[in-house]
A and B are shown apart, each in its own frame.
Chain A
Amino acid sequence: SAVISQKPSRDICQRGTSLTIQCQVDSQVTMMFWYRQQPGQSLTLIATANQGSEATYESGFVIDKFPISRPNLTFSTLTVSNMSPEDSSIYLCSVGSYTEAFFGQGTRLTVV
């Protein structure tokens, strides 16, 4: 299993600003995943982050809006840039490949 710590757990931000979310795993993992859960919706994958390479973004998500860093095998950050109220969501990081998936507790973001 893996224990994932995410920071911050919640934040309220002004539109036009940026927020960086941190994800720390208690073991080394090859791939880390970032998901978004909009209000009343299910989880949608934003991007897959491999250490030492550029993140791979899913359709509808772009690097300029959601830059991701993966400096080592236990840590990643997701930045939500130039925020608007539509970015209000829960953001979750996850690890796991062809086995069980594990999730952080999520970051609840409200943009006002």
Chain B
Amino acid sequence: KQEVTQIPAALSVPEGENLVLNCSFTDSAIYNLQWFRQDPGKGLTSLLLIQSSQREQTSGRLNASLDKSSGRSTLYIAASQPGDSATYLCAVRPTGNQFYFGTGTSLTVIP
């Protein structure tokens, strides 16, 4: 069974700092990997989707990379803002339909 781990579990940074969130997974046979943001009491908002054949995806201040062979993905957030405060989840999809989620990184950006 696929296991997904996210480090760190919590992170607090001052506004303007660049930061990296890490995601590792045990089975490299994945179809894609997706990063989500979850705000308190809310659902999930999709941030970036990386197909297994891709190395990275970018959207605005966000950049996600994927190293399938080593079972790792990173989410880079540039010039962090207080509005970035949320829990960030990575999810991997094997060849079936199910996503396997990590436990998330709770990010706090201090003004």
Residues on A close to B: CB < 8 A? 4, 6, 10, 31, 33, 41-45, 48, 58, 92, 94, 97-106, 108
Query: Which of these, B36, B43, B91, B99, contacts A6 with CB under 8 Å?
Result: B43
Residues on A with beta carbons closer than 8 Å to the beta carbon of B91:
43, 101
Given contacts A42-B89, A98-B31, contact A33 B41 (CB under 8 A): no
Q: List A contacts of B103 (CB < 8 A).
A: 41-42
Q: Which residues of A contact B89 (CB under 8 A)?
A: 42-43
Question: Does more than half of chain B's interface fall in helix, strand or loop, or is it mixed?
Answer: strand
Q: How far is the CA of A10 from the CA of B41 in the complex (A)?
A: 9
Complex Cα distance, B98 from A44, in Å, reads 10
B43 touches A104 (CB 8 A): yes
Are A100 and B97 touching (Cβ within 8 A)?
Answer: no
Instruction: Count residues of B near A (Cβ-Cβ below 8 Å).
Output: 22
Q: Are A45 and B99 closer than 8 Å at their CB atoms?
A: yes
Assess A101 versus B104: contact at CB under 8 Å? Given A42-B89, A106-B43: no
**B26 interface contact, C-beta 8 A:** no
Shortest CB-to-CB span from B2 to chain A, Å, is 12
B45 cross-chain contacts in A, Cβ below 8 A: 103
B43 A92 Cβ-Cβ under 8 A: yes
Question: Are A42 and B101 in contact (CB-based, < 8 A)?
Answer: yes
Chain A contact residues: helix, strand, loop or mixed: strand
Contact (Cβ within 8 A) A43 B31: no
Name the A residues within 8 Å of B46 (CB-CB).
Answer: 100-103
Which residues of A have CB within 8 Å of B97? 31, 33, 48, 97
**Which chain B residues (77-92) contact chain A, with CB distance < 8 Å?**
89, 91
**In the complex, A58 Cα to B99 Cα: how many Å?**
12
Would you list 19 pairs from A and B whose C-beta atoms are within 8 A, ordered by A residue?
A6-B43, A10-B41, A31-B97, A33-B98, A43-B44, A43-B91, A44-B101, A45-B99, A97-B97, A98-B93, A100-B34, A100-B46, A101-B34, A101-B46, A101-B93, A103-B45, A103-B46, A105-B43, A108-B41
